[in-house]
Amino acid sequence: MLKQVRQRKPSATGGHFAIVASRYNDRYVTALLRGAQTELRQAQATARVVRVPGAYEIPVVAKALARRAGAQLDGIICLGVILRGETAHAAHIGEAVSTALMQIQLEHEMPVIHEVLLLENVDQARKRCLDPRHNRGREAAQTALAMAAVMRSLRNDLPI
């Protein structure tokens, strides 16, 4: 059963984020992007948006942002929609993107929120992207805000 995104007051507020969003399957990704931006605005956070051609291009931009702007960013939100086709191509892209985003997150010790969805069909895309009750962009922003707060607390709690 698909979990609804909770409508709630953000537990963490503020911060500076980057959103890397694919243009491929634009209708769905733009809906994810709007959901993420709305959630961040409600939390009084700012976001720089970078659009890329497809999901496969998201990691290289996320890495460049983490390397160049890491000190100014509280996290990077990655948004994309991959729809399965008749071949294994979508699965290969999904796996490569997942692995790369995890490596960037660990290497730069920065939250990299993975909301590059590998979906079976258009019905799943409509539900997870266009339906406000299930918009995974909103959920990604909530996760980014929460992780930024966790990382800030670790920096503040650790002895220098």
Distances from the Cα of 16 to the Cα of 3, 72, 89, 109, angstroms: 27, 7, 34, 16
Residue 69 has pLDDT above 90, yes or no: no
Sheet holding 75-83, edge to edge: 46-52, 16-22, 75-83, 112-119
Residue 136 has pLDDT above 90, yes or no: yes
The structure tokens listed for 48 are 């720089």
Reported confidence tier of residue 72, pLDDT bands at 50, 70, 90:
very high
- What pTM value is reported for the model? 0.92
DSSP letter assigned to residue 120: S
In percent, the amount of the chain with pLDDT more than 90 equals: 84
Residue 81 has pLDDT above 60, yes or no: yes
Reported confidence tier of residue 155, pLDDT bands at 50, 70, 90:
confident
> CA 122, 6, 90: angle at the middle one, nearest 5?
30
Q: From the candidates 89, 92, 108, 114, which is the catalytic residue?
A: 89
Alpha-helical runs (H) found in the chain:
26-42, 58-69, 89-108, 122-125, 136-157
CATH code for residues 16-148: 3.40.50.960
Amino acid of residue 158: L
- Which residues have C-beta within 8 Å of that of residue 93, sequence separation ≥ 6? 54, 55, 56, 82, 118
In percent, the amount of the chain with pLDDT more than 70 equals: 92
What is the rounded CA–CA span in Å between residue 86 and residue 26?
21
State mean pLDDT over 108-123.
Answer: 97
Residue 8 has pLDDT above 70, yes or no: no
What are the boundaries of each domain within the chain?
A: 16-148
The residue among 78, 94, 88 whose CA lies nearest residue 32 is: 78
State mean pLDDT over 90-104.
Answer: 97
Clarify whether 89 is annotated catalytic: yes
